């Protein structure tokens, strides 16, 4: 309830993150990232989430996945797909140095399309690649690009041929996942798609949850802990 003292303490902390101090103040540090007040302010109503917020939140999801009872999650950073699509496997080969991505259950690929965030999810258990877009656009070519990447990564790192024919590629339809009702919530949708998927939970939130999710993310990023 809003009268709960803990809730009030959180609310005042979130408001302070937005309102007091300088834009360059550092409010959180983890995953080789620093988050400033200016970054946090992109979580204000109708703000456009930036790369730092997206990558930090993905870091929190990966961290949580190390706990008992969660699928093992790997997340690429937001610059991965644009680099991959403009070069090829060669251009991003070093990004997974010392990591076998195939040892995970779920791989998250947040994608920045000029002014829009979307999410691609690889499920290695099910052999599926799914594309989540809160504006309902199809991403079949993006799924194909990433499947080709997986084939080359598997060949190069494990010397195993991935059988592409065993994989299912699918762009989620507007009736399958919630859709944004404004021009600015795509980043929050991507973070929450990733949150639910990385817990193996059905995606049941709605656009009405966005103002709450934004405030909750402020607290989670400052405390480096998911609620």
The CA distance from 28 to 153, in Å, is: 33
pLDDT score for 140: 96
- Predicted TM-score of the model (pTM): 0.93
Choice among 39, 143, 185, 186 that is catalytic: 186
Choice among 133, 143, 191, 195 that is catalytic: 133
pLDDT score for 6: 73
The CATH class given to the 8-223 domain equals alpha beta
pLDDT score for 186: 96
In the residue annotation, 116 being an active-site residue is answered as yes
Choice among 116, 123, 170, 209 that is catalytic: 116
The CA distance from 26 to 153, in Å, is: 36
Beta strands per DSSP E along the chain = 26-30, 33-36, 73-75, 106-113, 116-123, 128-132, 168-171
In the residue annotation, 133 being an active-site residue is answered as yes
pLDDT score for 2: 56
Contacts of residue 54, defined as CB under 8 A and 6 or more positions apart, other chains included, come to 78, 110, 117, 187, 190, 191
pLDDT score for 27: 87
Per the prediction, the chain carries an average pLDDT of 93
pLDDT score for 107: 98
Q: Is there a contact between 61 and 73 (Cβ–Cβ < 8 Å)?
A: yes
The CA distance from 101 to 96, in Å, is: 7
Q: Which residues of the chain have pLDDT under 50?
A: none
pLDDT score for 73: 97
Q: Domain map of the chain by residue range?
A: 8-223
């Amino acid at each position: 309830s809003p009268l709960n003292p803990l809730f009030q303490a959180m609310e005042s902390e979130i408001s302070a993150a937005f309102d007091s101090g300088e834009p360059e103040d550092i409010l959180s540090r983890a995953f080789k990232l620093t988050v400033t007040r200016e970054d946090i302010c992109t979580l204000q109503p109708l703000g456009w989430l930036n790369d730092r917020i997206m990558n930090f939140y993905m870091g929190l999801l990966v961290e949580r996945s190390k706990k008992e009872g969660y699928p093992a999650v790997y997340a690429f950073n937001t610059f991965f797909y644009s680099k991959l699509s403009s070069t090829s496997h060669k251009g991003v080969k070093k990004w997974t140095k010392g990591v076998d991505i195939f040892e995970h259950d779920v791989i998250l690929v947040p994608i920045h399309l000029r002014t829009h965030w979307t999410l691609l999810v690889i499920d290695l258990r099910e052999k599926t690649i799914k594309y989540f877009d809160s504006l309902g656009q199809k991403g079949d070519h993006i799924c194909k690009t990433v499947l080709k990447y997986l084939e080359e990564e598997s060949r190069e790192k494990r010397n195993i041929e991935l059988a592409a024919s065993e994989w299912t590629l699918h762009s989620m339809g507007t009736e399958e996942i919630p859709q944004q009702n404004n021009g600015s919530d795509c980043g929050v949708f991507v973070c929450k798609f990733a949150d639910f998927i990385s817990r193996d939970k059905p995606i049941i939130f709605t656009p009405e949850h966005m103002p709450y999710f934004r405030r909750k993310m402020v607290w989670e990023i400052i405390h480096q802990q998911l609620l």
